[in-house]
Amino acid sequence: MSARTCLVTGTDTGIGKTHASVALLQALRADGRRAVGMKPVASGCDWQDGGWRNEDALALQAASRPRPAYADVNPVALPEATAPTLAARAAGVVVEAEVLHAAHARLAATADVVLVEGAGGWAAPLAEDLEHADLARWLGGAVVLVVGLRLGCLSHARLTARAIAADGCRLVGWVGNRIDPEFSRADDYLGLLADALPAPCLGVLPFVGDGGSAEAGALVLDPAWIDALPRRP
C-alpha cells in the first residue's frame, strides 16, 4: 500500500516549517495514522553519532511513528548553514533526485502519511536543477504552506500560493504560525489570509520562542482532508 504524502513549504525561511510539520505529524498520529516526516535536503548540520545531523530533521524523526532511520529522513545532510545549492557546492555533493525518491519510498513503505519538509521558501532551489516544484509534482502535487504571521505575510502568502498553482501543484492547506509576539494584528491578518488563500486553514500555532516545540494537540486535522492527500509508493 502506498502512503499519502505532501510537501510542506513556507512563505520564507525561518518561519517555522519544522514547528508546523511536527504539529502536523502529531495531529496525524492522534487520528490513528502512522505518520513520518522527511527533510530531503538539509543544510546546517553538526557531526553527531558518526554522521552529519540537522536539528530540524532530528525533530521530524523524533515526531515520527514508526521512528524511521535518520538516513531516510534526511538523505542529503550538508554542513554549511546556507542555501542548499551553496552548501552542496561547498561539500562537493551532487544532489540526485533519485536518492531522495528512494528514501521517500522506504518511508512510504512503513507509513500511512509522509510529510516532506522543504528548505526555505517555495522558490528557493533544493539543489542544482532541482526545484521544490519538481519534488512536489513527483510526490503528487499536494502542498501545505506555513505562513509566518508578521508584517508582509499577506503578500508573501498570496505570491507563494500563486507560484504553487503556476508550477502545476495544489495548495491543499495552510498553517499560521505566530512567530512575532509583538505583531498585534495577527488575528486580523488571519482573517485576510483565510479570504485570500484557496485552501483551508489547518490551524494556528502559538509563539514558542527559541528552542520551543509544537505541543501535542496544537492542530486537529479533518480526516477527510487527510484522505484526500495523493498517494505515492
Instruction: Name the residues annotated as catalytic.
Output: 39
Comparing C-alpha atoms, which of 34, 65, 40 is closest to residue 54? 40
CA 229 to CA 226: how far, in whole Å? Answer: 6
Residue 209 φ then ψ, to 5°: 80, 180
Residue 182 φ then ψ, to 5°: -90, 0
CB 133 within 8 A of CB 57: no
Q: How many CB atoms lie within 10 A of CB 1?
A: 8
34: amino acid identity, one letter: R
**In the structure grid, which three cell numbers stand for residue 118, read together?**
522543504
Residues paired with 52 in a beta bridge:
47
